[in-house]
Chains A and B, each alone.
Chain A
Amino acid sequence: MAKVKIAQYWGAGCGGCDVALLDIDEKILGVAEIADIAFWPIAVDTKLKDVEAMPDKSITVTLYNGAIRNSENEHVAKLLRQKSAIMVSFGSCACYGGIPGLANVTNRKDLTDYVYTKTFSSVNPGGVKPQTKYQAPEGELELPVLYDTVLTLDDVVDVDYYMPGCPPAVSLINTFLGVVEKHVKEGAPLPPKGSVIASQKTLCDECGRTKDVKTVEHIRLPHEVEIDPKKCMIEQGVICLGPATRAGCGAQCLQANQPCRGCMGPTAAVMDQGGSMLSALASVFKTADNESQLSEDDILQLMTEIKDPLGTFYAFTMPKSIIKRKVSERKKAEVSQ
């Protein structure tokens, strides 16, 4: 019987998603029984030219993790798309940009300027910056082109399924691999294209904490407050992205007494995770009964309790948010020139 062929690749990611596949414990042996690894740079010595030599669609499923940050990420994503029957956007970075996606608050020039010349440890009197081409005595060397804007996998290739999470939960990986195995062995149908392999509900639905007063007085960082493990995080003043985040992870962070930071991305019904969290959090602030007497400045003061809305509400989803990246206003004088 034909074996399932699996490939996994990392774009702009940390490697945690690669490790997540091994987190399925002894079931990994079962995977080895039903599947061959076609390409997995972190674990197996296969080269890109081996993939190039494979027939189109010959890899059953590719789990692509990491965002699209440079031309190499994009090139391999396109190659694997061509060679794979099923392309899975694996992990928050591939699905929504993830933590690397926060680089969209800056741009390529500012970023490289800072990293190569301005950090405390930078010693670079010549102002040397990485070049995409370099003429060495042995021949021309190439480096990938760093993109100005971090992209998600589905910005550059057609994606069949999404598996968010930082990294995706073991239970979701198991469920998905089970479905693929059944499909290959018994011809069982696959889920509809574009499905997100997670729950349709919000994390609050999965979280066992009790919600009582549903208001917040002051925002606190997790280390500034002794968190009651039974009470809702937000009621204790800790920003938890549960109300705006897709369920499916089993509320693992909350079980470890830490707030949700939103790695599962927006729920099925919305486009912008940060927007829905902003809405939810602004609504639950407690004020005195005389809210009608408060001025606009009082309200602004109240909202400055939240120090970094962009970094908090879009920690994992900036490249997939509606605005996507930071822009800069041009002064009117420059526009008319």
Chain B
Amino acid sequence: MSSTQHETQAAPAANPAAEGGFEPKIIAFCCNWCSYAGADLAGVSRLQMPTNFLVLRAMCSARVDPEHVLRAFAKGADGVLVLGCHPADCHYIGGNYRTRRRIALLKMLLEQYGLDPDRLHLEWVSASEGVKFQSTIKEFTEKIREMGPNPLKEAEKEEKAEKAKMAH
């Protein structure tokens, strides 16, 4: 991924000052067989995209436990992408079907927790789809930028303030 990271650093962030200085932090889980290779292709093809994301490689998108996604949000991620092989294309035959069910249910759960369910996004990116990887990152980063920071960060700050107030 080093080439991708290096190249993408060249892309200027879209006017951060106008957005109140908010730069989204995005975690992108990529499956080893399709999406990670797709991300690599985007990199070696020198496709330009925002640098707000960190890639985490999992052997399969179904390895991305709901706990991993929840933890990413709890640790301050503003958006989480889960990228896997297209339906009928999974290296493990049916892993991506499980992913898709879990992500659907997880979105329902996030909404109940008060988070915008669109902060979590599932996309199929094959090893040959470097361009799709690029467009997914671009669109998702823009969407999260529009949405604003993860409200869990704010809630944590408020909680700390209340604790400090009570200590007096």
Contact = CB atoms under 8 A, between A and B. Distances in A.
B105 A332 contact: no
Interface residues of A, number: 47
Contacts of A308: 112
Contact of A148 (B109, B154, B162): B162
Contact of B114 (A149, A271, A275, A326): A326
Given A145-B166, A309-B112, A332-B147, A323 B73 contact: yes
Contact of A303 (B73, B108, B152, B154): B108
B112 A330 contact: no
B154 A330 contact: yes
B65 A327 contact: no
B94 to A, nearest CB: 7
Contacts of B159: 148-149
Given A105-B112, A282-B102, A329-B151, A336 B20 contact: yes
A74 to B, nearest CB: 9
B73 A282 contact: no
Contacts of B148: 329-332, 335
Given A299-B101, A303-B101, A323-B74, A332 B146 contact: yes
A288 to B, nearest CB: 12
Contact of A310 (B67, B113, B154): B113
Nearest to B98: A283
Contacts, number: 118
A157 interface: no
Contacts of A296: 100, 104, 122
Given A291-B87, A323-B74, A328 B104 contact: no
A276 B115 CA distance: 20
Contacts of A161: none
Contacts of A300: 104
B155 interface: yes
A302 interface: yes
A326 B164 CA distance: 21
Contacts of B151: 327-330
B109 A329 contact: no
Interface in A258-294: 270-272, 274-276, 278-279, 281-283, 285, 291-294
Contact of B94 (A278, A291, A304, A323): A291
A69 interface: no
B53 interface: no
Nearest to A293: B87
Interface in B108-139: 108-109, 112-116, 122
B97 A335 contact: no
Contact of B104 (A299, A331, A332): A299
Given A300-B104, A306-B105, A275 B70 contact: yes
Interface string B33-64: 00000000000000000000000000000000
Interface string B13-26: 00000011010000
A322 B101 contact: no
B12 interface: no
Contacts of B146: 332
Interface string A297-337: 00110111010111101000000011111111111100110
A278 B102 contact: yes
Interface in A102-124: 105
Contacts of B74: 322-324
Contacts of B113: 310, 323, 326-327
Given A302-B104, A322-B70, 18 more contacts: A105-B112, A148-B162, A272-B66, A272-B67, A278-B102, A279-B102, A291-B87, A291-B94, A292-B87, A296-B104, A303-B105, A303-B108, A304-B108, A322-B74, A323-B74, A324-B74, A326-B112, A327-B151
Interface of B: 19-20, 22, 65-67, 70-71, 73-74, 87-88, 94, 97-98, 100-102, 104-106, 108-109, 112-116, 122, 146-149, 151-152, 154-155, 159, 162, 166
- Which 8 pairs from chain A and chain B are nearest by CB? A275-B66, A310-B112, A292-B88, A282-B101, A322-B70, A275-B67, A327-B151, A292-B87
Interface of A: 71, 105, 145, 148-149, 270-272, 274-276, 278-279, 281-283, 285, 291-294, 296, 299-300, 302-304, 306, 308-311, 313, 321-332, 335-336
